[in-house]
Structure 1
């Protein structure tokens, strides 16, 4: 029964996005079917085969090694942080970001990450039949995050038509950043984090094909490559990367403190009117139908629905910290669904980051396309997370 509900959930999500589409007649179904087939193959490989499990473990070991390297730097500067048996969230999840950002920027500097993104983007473009830029961007934002990925293609954005600008904005809701994966691994099982990453990439392409379908001419289907003259020297690059990483740590920490405090304040106000009422419970009711369609029993569905709402209203870290404490008490299917859903940046604050990026990179007139279509970004972010969670859920019981 729960398996059938899980399948129904995929159909319902796709159906709701289709109903939201203002351009139903322009939708091309072949790319959508192709993407879905690839998603099932990728998920079955990663979660259903020994080779897939080995690949995930090796990737996880690599990121854990990055965290160990980062901890060596942290321990040198602040050794007292490691004197406690249990590390604070700041030390275990946030401070390692400084080194991980630097490491990925080094890969980009020497063209290794750029080469990987280009090759995989080309493959996805062939599979999906979608434009090269959008396929390229879906891979790029998987490693770089939305604001960084937007900055990389800023010259291409400047010449895009409004509809393609909106497409890139919609896709940006479903990104993740390689620099943040280490933090996720301190809270969630590695197999679901690394399953969610490619699924979010593919589902971003799928959902935008429904929500904002378009046709691109051969002349328009190009990818901008920055000239070598824009390249800085190596030490300036890594120094800047370290400062960017530190800025990310401060921003994430500030958002976590602020959102958790704000949630506590809102819950206190709600409790004055209705005893025991919290914003998590309100979101739990709103998202509970979707949680049930992910094949969850009622009690666990309500808990996962609360996590969904918490992620949307605050960010994924707040929800992940909550889920981490409950991993041993939940069924494998529930853990898989919840962890996969949480692995992305889709929330209200991300909309603000995307609009801010457009506003700083483009003219005010062009960036207005995001402000006019906030609902599309929100629908896309939720739908991609739900689809990824539903597909992973089919393989874990």
Structure 2
């Protein structure tokens, strides 16, 4: 039954975007059908064929192995804190306050390798350095071009938007448009919508590695799922961008596809060093963002909880089911979780995570997702998710589609094409909707096949 719901949910989400479209008569239904078919075909190959499953497992193992390499570098800086358990108490004395992750089979031990700063930050730095090195060697450009050719031929999209969508599979939402930098200023409105949606519907390689570090202990094949999600969401972002803002002009690159790449590094050492520096900035930004957002959520929950208690005391209403931000988001986003085919018992928790991802950002959502699957409290209580819900959420949360990303894109793409900032600002919410549905439909397709 849940697989049928996942299928039905795709039509519902396409229908919603049809109603919100800026020009329903100009919608290219061939592009929509082929784009969704391309998503389904890729998911079928990866999740259901023997060769695809072997490739899935192989790529998952590659990412896990790369995480292992990260430990070699991180251990020099942080020492035993990255990998060795440290005794912090005895069974007689009990653990000191604050140590939740303990190995009770041999007394009480802290697991500092599970601390974000010692495990996830080095991963972001290493993957950023690796990706920069691969770009310097010209390897990533060839891979991006291959994906772009497939999407351009299959969907009939312009060369520029196809290249940007393909680049978003591997790099961030502000870096991907750089491969089409000469064309951004003259892009049609529909093309701008496509590159914004593509940026928010996928994740960068370094950030993906960080999510793997958070979830891999209890979700061993998470790397393969996240890679599949990012690839599947690339054509999906074009589908929903063209649903909401159909092409009514003639793109400059409708008949050609040229990649722009500025080689700024002198050699491989320079490239690796620059990538590490950029990775450090990203890692510190992630840490600062998590500290601020989680603190703001806690403060907001305290204020909202106080308001609910005052209202309850005055009216006699029982508001305990909606006295936190997460619980409110759970009810708002649970219909979307239902449309994905998530089991009923998991709807509220899933809705809470989807709400956090959209209102705050995906890193907060994945952090709390990790808390749930690792048996730690979420929103003040222990929650559980079925295996089906875990896989679907891994796909649904995979993307930069949140309110903050609109500002990031305004700054990033607006810096490339200052004259288009007004158009970018006007398209921001539509791009967020398109990217959100792209990730959700990717989750729907995964739900049909598991």
TM-score, length of structure 2 as denominator length? 0.83
CA contact (8 A) 2:159 2:253 kept: no
In the TM superposition, 1:143-158 aligns within 5 A as 143-158=170-185
In the TM superposition, 1:316-395 aligns within 5 A as 316-327=362-373, 329-363=384-418, 365-395=419-449
Superposed displacement of residue 156, structure 1: 2.0
| Structure 2 counterpart of 1:115 | 142
Q: Taking CA–CA contacts closer than 8 Å with sequence separation of 6 or more, which of the two structures ends up with the larger relative contact order? A: 1
**Inter-partner Cα distance in structure 2 for 1:9 and 1:348:** 24
Residue in structure 2 matching 1:232, options 265, 274, 277:
265
Superposed displacement of residue 218, structure 1: 7.6
Q: How many residues align?
A: 394
**Inter-partner Cα distance in structure 1 for 2:340 and 2:259:** 41
| Structure 1 counterpart of 2:77 | 77
Superposed displacement of residue 338, structure 1: 1.0
SS of aligned partner of 2:174: helix
Question: Is 2:123 the partner of 1:96?
Answer: yes
In the TM superposition, 1:172-321 aligns within 5 A as 172-186=199-213, 187=215, 188=219, 189-214=222-247, 217=250, 220-221=253-254, 222-226=256-260, 230-234=263-267, 235-275=269-309, 276=320, 277-321=323-367
Alignment CA distance shift 1:231-1:215 (3 Å): farther
CA contact (8 A) 2:39 2:235 kept: yes
CA contact (8 A) 2:168 2:176 kept: yes
Superposed displacement of residue 224, structure 1: 4.1
Question: Is 2:41 the partner of 1:41?
Answer: yes
**Inter-partner Cα distance in structure 2 for 1:3 and 1:226:** 42
SS of aligned partner of 1:147: coil
In the TM superposition, 1:116-135 aligns within 5 A as 116-135=143-162
Superposed displacement of residue 295, structure 1: 2.0
Superposed displacement of residue 173, structure 1: 1.5
Superposed displacement of residue 146, structure 1: 0.7
**Inter-partner Cα distance in structure 1 for 2:425 and 2:260:** 28
Question: Which consecutive aligned stretches of 4+ in structure 1 deviate over 4 angstroms post-superposition?
Answer: 215-219
Superposed displacement of residue 86, structure 1: 4.3
Gaps of 5+ in 2: 86-110, 310-319, 375-383
Cα-to-partner distance string for 1:254-311 (whole Å, 9 max, x where unaligned): 1111110000000000010114411111111111111112222332011100110011
**Inter-partner Cα distance in structure 2 for 1:191 and 1:102:** 21
Cα-to-partner distance string for 1:160-217 (whole Å, 9 max, x where unaligned): 2344223322322212111222212221523421221111111101111211111564
CA contact (8 A) 2:43 2:445 kept: yes
**Inter-partner Cα distance in structure 1 for 2:205 and 2:188:** 29
Alignment CA distance shift 1:223-1:231 (3 Å): farther
Mean Cα displacement is larger for which, 165-174 or 129-138? 165-174
CA contact (8 A) 2:8 2:339 kept: yes
Larger Rg: 2
**Inter-partner Cα distance in structure 2 for 1:133 and 1:216:** 14
CA contact (8 A) 1:196 1:343 kept: yes
Mean Cα displacement is larger for which, 73-82 or 133-142? 73-82
Alignment CA distance shift 1:57-1:3 (3 Å): closer
| Structure 2 counterpart of 1:9 | 9
**Inter-partner Cα distance in structure 1 for 2:165 and 2:2:** 31
Alignment CA distance shift 1:227-1:3 (3 Å): closer
CA contact (8 A) 1:7 1:390 kept: yes
Superposed displacement of residue 343, structure 1: 1.2
Superposed displacement of residue 48, structure 1: 1.5
CA contact (8 A) 1:107 1:113 kept: yes
**Inter-partner Cα distance in structure 2 for 1:218 and 1:21:** 20
RMSD: 1.9
CA contact (8 A) 1:101 1:242 kept: yes
| Structure 2 counterpart of 1:68 | 68
**Inter-partner Cα distance in structure 2 for 1:101 and 1:286:** 36
Superposed displacement of residue 362, structure 1: 2.0
Mean Cα displacement is larger for which, 340-349 or 42-51? 42-51
**Inter-partner Cα distance in structure 2 for 1:333 and 1:384:** 19
CA contact (8 A) 2:194 2:238 kept: no
Mean Cα displacement is larger for which, 106-115 or 145-154? 145-154
